[in-house]
Amino acid sequence: MKLRLLFTLFLLGLLAFNQSCQKKPALNLVPQPLSVTTTSGYFTLTADTRVFVPNGMDDWAMAARYLAALVEQGAGFRLVSQSIQQDMRGPTENAIYFLPESSIASAEGYQLEITPTAIYIRARTAAGAFYAVQTLRQIFPPGINAASAAWQALCCKIDDAPRFSYRGLHLDVGRHYFPVSFVKKYIDLLAAHKLNTFHWHLTEDQGWRIEIKKHPRLQEVAACRSETLVGHYSDQPQRFDGKPYCGYYTQEEVKEVVEYARQRFVTVIPEIEMPGHALAALSAYPELGCTGGPYQAATKWGVFEDVFCAGNEKTFVFLDEVLEEVCALFPSTYIHIGGDECPKTRWQTCPKCQKRMKQEGLKDEHELQSYFIRRAEAMLARRDKKLIGWDEILEGGLAPSATVMSWRGTEGGIAAAKAGHDAIMTPTSHVYLDYYQSDPNTEPVAIGGHLTLEKVYSYEPVPAELSPEEAVRILGVQANVWTEYMKTPDYVEYMTYPRACAVAEIAWSAKEKKDWPDFARRLRAHFARLDAMGVNYAKSYFDISTSFSGGKVALSAIDPVLQIRYTTDGSEPTPTSKRYKEPFAIAQNTTVKAAVFEGKKQMGKVRTVAYLVHKASGKPYTLARIPDKYDGGEQYALTNGVTGDIKTWGNWVGLVNRDIDPVIDLGKPTSFSRVTTHFVNSKVSWIYPPRGVEIYVSDDGQQFRLLASREIPAETMEGITVETVVLDTPGAQGRYLKFVAKTFGVIPENAAGAGNGAWLFIDEVIVE
């Protein structure tokens, strides 16, 4: 009897334990900490809560004041701080303690312990304490806006530290100027996500945005352009608004921003572009260019041939005087000097530059650029500063102590690390937040590309090619926000968040802690915090992805619990439309429309896909070269039944200077009489037509015979267009069809991108 009673009590206890575990609240923290243990109970913050800070430690007091400001803004009462006294007899109830702890290994690490009666913040430095405050901020409810509401934090213990010492977010104010108030908000947001570096891109071809007292024409002339491009650069004919565009930051405003950032433990790194992207500066001081001008600040986007003259000693006197004032304004260790996208055309014909090359024993203009960068490095070194530049500074030889910002891929970072230099990873493939994040047909205009939230999160900053000794040279990661098409603060926020949340987790969280499904779950809860902070973030989280294989359409969302409703008759989906449960078959041309719903509320945009059903649609294929950037959005994008247009880059398969040659397995011997495809002609974007196309057929996938071919007059095609090519194949039959689009090759002289390999973009291979 006793045994049965004990067993029953055991079962009841186990049931109660399981129920308590199931009900245990989750902490949806972004970025994910190293270790989180939740316990029972809550700490309740009140107007009587006292805050204790170390005596005489101003930076710790600054972290405590930041917490007090957050509480006052949200709950309506002000927390009062007082110094920890040596004779205090144990903890005081209803208190928050900031406690220095020398045993914590990481300078930015912390321990956060929340009990029902007190909160303990332990860190080695005030920066670590500040990041503990940011975590505490996420544990409290996000939307409290009245003193009568309960401000409670779940009891827990968190041990945390960042993976990388450099965690950056960039903002270009050269193309579009943003007020100081927004720059401060931008800094607030990056600090809230435990990013610690604000890369402020202050000078560009389109505008010089920082006051230099020694050279007043920089703010009088270079801070203005006569007009601005309307629409996308690729639109033809190009149109302009006819309105002058001006703006710059005074040195007092710069100091204000730097101090604001310091109080949030954010380092501001300015970028002063050289030797390229200098048209605005040359418009004010034309004698610093190779031709002497006249010049004007650029009114459209791109790369321009007029750059600082490397053979003119006045150029270096000017830049030295500029950097003198810049270095005095920014206490950061690093100053960014650009160094990217510097055409050598003017240098090649400039007598002063050629004379400089001869005097210095430089074999080509790439070495002349390296000479330029080394002189800039020396200017900074005299002022106890270090140089950062984009990865082009590797060309012609790297300056002795330069740090490389690797943007054109990972190669620059790898080369720098292997050469014993520090590197910051910021590749276009994963962290350029000016790229489209959703279907371009439903998005505001952007520069191009397609970079989803999931792809951002997938990035690993330490290249596998590096040894452990080399890997320590990777200081961290940065996301870049270039503003050619971002005219307003709202649009900057829209393009930056929530993708910057993914960057924050890449930069902060341990590699083994990264978990995309878990991040997606936490991010959805995090949206309430972004709402409370007034962020105009994109709703791309609720995008629907589509794929077509084996005659069936599959729909999916980031979070599998999201409810998808869809139609196949071209009508708009509603809360009562058919709910998606599994892939569904289509046997004829069909327009699928789908959206995520939460009850009766549509959460995101409608995804519309017009499927073209033909003999190769949904069939698998192989490629000699797998695209690593423009892959069409799914494995078999060339046979997925979807044709693209000039905006939907996500649908195109693209390679540089290589043929695109799918071998399609039709599954069985199949007769067909026509093959059609589309290609992009946009030479201004380095995208060229194929030189020709060929169709082959095979019964065994090994021996192919040519059915048809066609040459394409690529050189004569003008404008920006999507072209169609049709090859008739009467009486053709076989199981395997090989389609070959031949690359144009190297871009000719005097064309945009001359000397580089041309891009080839191909869409659906339609077999009829």
DSSP string, 474-515: EEEEEEB---TT--SHHHHHHHHTTHHHHHHHHHHS-GGG--
* Predicted confidence (pLDDT) per residue in 270-287, tens digit: 999 999 999 999 999 999
One domain for residues 344 and 464:
yes
- Residue 19 falls within a domain, yes or no? no
Helices (H), 156-228: 180-192, 217-220
DSSP string, 601-623: EE-SPPEEEEE---TTTT--EE-
pLDDT-based confidence at residue 19 (cuts at 50, 70, 90): very low
Encoded tokens for 289: 């260019």
Encoded tokens for 533: 């902070």
- Distance between CA atoms of residues 256 and 326, nearest Å: 14
Residue bearing the bigger pLDDT, 715 or 615: 615
One domain for residues 200 and 348:
yes
What's the number of CA atoms in the CB half-sphere (13 Å) around residue 67?
33
The predicted structure's pLDDT at residue 149: 59
Q: 52: which strand partners?
A: 82, 97
Interval 243-269 mean pLDDT: 98
- Residue 2 falls within a domain, yes or no? no
The predicted structure's pLDDT at residue 635: 87
The predicted structure's pLDDT at residue 24: 56
- Residue 4 falls within a domain, yes or no? no
Residue 7 φ then ψ, to 5° = -65, -40
Cα–Cα distances in angstroms (integers) from residue 500 to residues 31, 168, 218, 266, 506, in the given order: 11, 10, 32, 16, 10
Per the CB < 8 A criterion, the answer to whether 195 and 268 are in contact is no
CA 16 to chain centre: 46
Per the CB < 8 A criterion, the answer to whether 720 and 646 are in contact is yes
User: Nearest Cα to 193, choosing from 138, 262, 268, 144?
Assistant: 138
- Distance between CA atoms of residues 726 and 260, nearest Å: 61
pLDDT above 80: residue 364: yes
pLDDT-based confidence at residue 144 (cuts at 50, 70, 90): low
User: Nearest Cα to 462, choosing from 400, 420, 507, 398?
Assistant: 507
- Residue 18 falls within a domain, yes or no? no
Q: What is the CATH number of the domain that holds 584?
A: 2.60.40.10
pLDDT-based confidence at residue 625 (cuts at 50, 70, 90): very high
Residue 90 φ then ψ, to 5° = 80, 175
One domain for residues 151 and 207:
no
280: left (phi over 0), alpha (psi -120 to 50) or beta: alpha
> Which pTM does this prediction carry?
0.90
Say how many domains are in the chain.
Answer: 4
Q: Residue 731: in which H helix or E strand, if any?
A: strand 720-742
The predicted structure's pLDDT at residue 14: 38
Helix (H, G, I), strand (E, B) or coil at 283: helix
Encoded tokens for 741: 């689009």
The predicted structure's pLDDT at residue 449: 82
Q: At what angle do helices 489-496 and 499-508 cross, to 10 degrees?
A: 50
Residue that finishes a domain, picked among 558, 590, 611: 611
Encoded tokens for 449: 């590309």
Residue that finishes a domain, picked among 127, 160, 193: 160
Q: What is the CATH number of the domain that holds 459?
A: 3.20.20.80
Residue bearing the bigger pLDDT, 360 or 3: 360
Interval 231-251 mean pLDDT: 94
Interval 371-381 mean pLDDT: 97
* Predicted confidence (pLDDT) per residue in 555-564, tens digit: 999 888 899 9
Interval 694-721 mean pLDDT: 93
Per the CB < 8 A criterion, the answer to whether 78 and 71 are in contact is yes
Encoded tokens for 127: 């920066």
pLDDT above 60: residue 7: no
One domain for residues 194 and 144:
no
pLDDT above 80: residue 445: yes
One domain for residues 275 and 173:
yes
pLDDT-based confidence at residue 6 (cuts at 50, 70, 90): very low
- Distance between CA atoms of residues 461 and 440, nearest Å: 27
Encoded tokens for 33: 């900490």
Residue 99 φ then ψ, to 5° = -125, 115
The predicted structure's pLDDT at residue 683: 87
- Distance between CA atoms of residues 688 and 666, nearest Å: 29
Task: Cis check for the bond before 275: say yes or no (omega within 30 of 0).
Answer: yes
One domain for residues 389 and 490:
yes
Domain with 581, as residue range(s), is: 543-611
The predicted structure's pLDDT at residue 422: 97
* Predicted confidence (pLDDT) per residue in 520-561, tens digit: 999 999 999 999 999 999 999 999 989 888 889 999 998 888
Tell me how many helices (H) and strands (E) the chain has. 18, 38
One domain for residues 85 and 116:
yes
* Predicted confidence (pLDDT) per residue in 336-347, tens digit: 999 999 999 999
Task: Cis check for the bond before 748: say yes or no (omega within 30 of 0).
Answer: no
Handedness of CA 301, 306, 312, 314 (dihedral sign): negative
- Residue 14 falls within a domain, yes or no? no
Encoded tokens for 636: 């078999």
Cα–Cα distances in angstroms (integers) from residue 277 to residues 174, 305, 313, 340, 630, in the given order: 10, 9, 19, 8, 27
Encoded tokens for 218: 């920089």
pLDDT-based confidence at residue 663 (cuts at 50, 70, 90): very high
pLDDT-based confidence at residue 643 (cuts at 50, 70, 90): confident
The predicted structure's pLDDT at residue 22: 43
The predicted structure's pLDDT at residue 10: 38
The predicted structure's pLDDT at residue 479: 98
Tell me what percent of the residues of the chain surpass a pLDDT of 70: 94
One domain for residues 501 and 582:
no
Helix (H, G, I), strand (E, B) or coil at 193: coil
Q: What is the CATH number of the domain that holds 105?
A: 3.30.379.10
One domain for residues 326 and 178:
yes
Q: 663: which strand partners?
A: 622, 738
* Predicted confidence (pLDDT) per residue in 219-230, tens digit: 999 999 999 999
DSSP string, 35-93: EEEEEEEEEEE-TT-EEEE-TT-HHHHHHHHHHHHHHHHHHS---EEEEPPTT--SPPS
Q: Residue type at 274?
A: M
User: Nearest Cα to 275, choosing from 191, 349, 206, 366?
Assistant: 366
**Beta pairing, strands 110-114 & 229-230:** unpaired
- Residue 687 falls within a domain, yes or no? yes
Residue that finishes a domain, picked among 484, 511, 532: 532
- Residue 206 falls within a domain, yes or no? yes
One domain for residues 148 and 220:
no
Lowest mean pLDDT among 299-303, 304-308, 547-551, 567-571: 547-551
* Predicted confidence (pLDDT) per residue in 93-131, tens digit: 899 999 999 999 999 999 999 999 999 999 999 999 999
- Distance between CA atoms of residues 143 and 73, nearest Å: 11
* Predicted confidence (pLDDT) per residue in 190-236, tens digit: 999 999 999 999 999 999 999 999 999 999 999 999 999 999 988 88
- Residue 220 falls within a domain, yes or no? yes
Helices (H), 631-677: none
The predicted structure's pLDDT at residue 322: 98
The predicted structure's pLDDT at residue 2: 41
pLDDT above 80: residue 595: yes
One domain for residues 108 and 179:
no
Beta-carbon neighbour count of residue 87 at 10 Å? Answer: 4
One domain for residues 174 and 115:
no
The predicted structure's pLDDT at residue 221: 98
- Distance between CA atoms of residues 549 and 547, nearest Å: 7
pLDDT above 50: residue 624: yes
First to last CA, the chain: 80
